[in-house]
Structure 1
Amino acid sequence: MDYNSIINSNNVVLVEFFATWCPHCKRMIPVMEEVKKLLGNRVPVYTIDIDENEKEAEDNKIETIPTFIVYHNGNQVWRHSGEIDKQDLIGHVESLLQ
């Protein structure tokens, strides 16, 4: 996986860093599924396992999971660590689509 290709795959991209053993990440699974449905094909959503992608997690200074990062034209414009409400997450993403 080439992280640079991911964050430049669309003008707005949502990335979630998670781990399979993380209880907060597990609680976010249904939320992320709903977010993917609501965003449809307008915004690519990537979930990246920190245990399988240590370099990407380190490069992005991921210290808490889950961590959500929104990119606009390849640049990080928003970041949140910990559980988050579906509407808050979608609001940050959709604000860049206008």
Structure 2
Amino acid sequence: MSKFGDLINLDVPVLLDFYTDWDESSTVMSPILKDVAAAIGDKGKVIKIDVDKNVMLANALRVKSLPTLILYKNGEMVWRKSGEEDANTLINLIQQHLQEEI
């Protein structure tokens, strides 16, 4: 779990995508998240977490449906949603959390 703590304790927004390769909605989100990552560059991070390989973490965060998107800033969960989301919404969300540090 310390690796997870290091991952979310960054001073930039960190968007976690809990997914599986066999889930259709997770597959739909993959190119969207690539677009988000490209748009935010080094001002944030987008990290995919395969729930089949990270069962304990998914259970600890109560991930019940896929995909589940969670945004962290400075180690705190600031937003969470289960299901698909569009790139513009995610980019705007990350930008809002960038503005808070100014």
TM-score range, shorter chain: over 0.9
Instruction: Decide whether the 8 Å contact of 1:10 with 1:44 is kept in 2.
Output: no
Q: Give the aligned CA root-mean-square deviation in angstroms.
A: 1.2
Gaps of 5+ in 1: none
Question: Is 1:29 the equivalent of 2:67?
Answer: no
Q: CA deviation at 1:93?
A: 1.1
Aligned to 2:95: 94
Instruction: Give the share of equivalent positions with the same residue, in percent.
Output: 35
SS in 2 for 1:10: coil
Gaps of 5+ in 2: none
- Name the TM-score, length of structure 2 as normaliser: 0.91
Which protein is richer in helix relative to its size? 2
Question: Is 1:61 the equivalent of 2:62?
Answer: yes
SS in 2 for 1:96: helix
Q: After superposition, where does 1:63-78 map in structure 2 within 5 Å?
A: 63-78=64-79
Q: CA deviation at 1:71?
A: 0.7
Instruction: Decide whether the 8 Å contact of 1:8 with 1:73 is kept in 2.
Output: yes
- Distance in structure 2 (CA, Å) of the matches to 1:65 and 1:25: 6
Question: Is 1:20 the equivalent of 2:24?
Answer: no
SS in 2 for 1:17: strand
- Distance in structure 1 (CA, Å) of the matches to 2:43 and 2:58: 25
Aligned to 1:82: 83
Q: CA deviation at 1:45?
A: 1.2
- Distance in structure 2 (CA, Å) of the matches to 1:12 and 1:27: 22
Number of residue pairs aligned between Structure 1 and Structure 2: 98
Q: CA deviation at 1:12?
A: 1.6
